[in-house]
Amino acid sequence: MKKNKKDRQLLLQETIVNTPFITDEELAEKFQVSIQTIRLDRLELSIPELRERIKHVAEKKLDDEVKALPIEEVIGDIIDLQLDESAISILEIKKEHVFSRNQIARGHHLFAQANSLAVAMINDELALTAKANIHFTRQVKENERVIAKAKIIKNDSENRRTLIEVNSYVVNELVFSGEFEMFRSNPTQR
């Protein structure tokens, strides 16, 4: 059942507050209106588009936290970071990420998203990838959104190594998985 404009806009604001990374397409489907209607509602309510919402959340939280590389060198947008524990990033697959003949994402972009997320979550001034074991489980297409989730599996303070698992999804489907063995300049503080 469609809502009137005022009710829809109130629900739209509430939905975006509760799920800030929801797309205009998902909102249009949820409210049974066109994408253009959602965009106009956002404009009237001064709600930025998804990419700007992601950047705002990331910049606000991450500028002082990420130590191992500049935040602008992370591939994708970090939306959650718990140093030396876990992290999540989002990468929107666009035309520049895909092969022109079939619109399939080039694998190095998915690897770079996962690898830079693993580096970013290390609480150290220097973190380098020592070894990676990766698997691509399905091809990713243009206009899909890849959500990478990283977590620390093991810390070896003596050898200054941290093992990080990264799984990347499109919606809820696993598209990439990897284990990254990271070298850090300082032993972990656990």
Domain map of the chain by residue range?
A: 5-47, 63-184
Closest CA to 150 of 108, 124, 186, 182: 182
Cβ pair 91, 78 in contact under 8 A: no
Residue 123 binned pLDDT confidence (cut-offs 50, 70, 90): confident
pLDDT at 119 over 60: yes
**14, HSE (Cβ side, Cα atoms, 13 Å):** 8
pLDDT given at position 37 = 92
Judged by DSSP in three states, 104 sits in strand
Tell me phi and psi for residue 112, to 5 degrees: -65, -40
Give the integer Cα–Cα distance in Å for 34 and 56.
26
63-184 fold: Thiol Ester Dehydrase; Chain A (3.10.129)
Which residue reads 């830079």 in tokens? 116
At the second CATH level, the architecture of 5-47 is Orthogonal Bundle (1.10)
Predicted confidence (pLDDT) per residue in 24-79, tens digit: 888 999 999 998 999 899 888 888 887 777 666 655 555 556 665 666 678 888 88
CA distances from 53 to 56, 78, 80, 119, 135 (A): 5, 12, 13, 23, 31
The single residue listed with the structure tokens 């009137």 is 4
Q: Is 172 exposed, middle or buried (0-12, 13-18, 19+ CB in 10 A)?
A: exposed
Closest listed residue to residue 66, CA positions, set 42, 45, 82: 82
Out of 32-36, 66-70, 136-140, 184-188, the most confident range is 136-140
SS3 content of the chain, % helix, strand, coil (to 5): 35, 30, 35
Q: What is the dihedral of CA 103, 109, 114, 118, to 10 degrees?
A: -170
- pLDDT tens string 3-23: 788 889 899 988 888 877 788
pLDDT single digits (tens) 81-110: 888 899 899 999 999 999 999 999 999 999
So what's the pLDDT on residue 54? 67
Q: pLDDT tens digits for 149-176? A: 999 999 887 788 999 999 999 988 999 9
pLDDT recorded at residue 59: 59
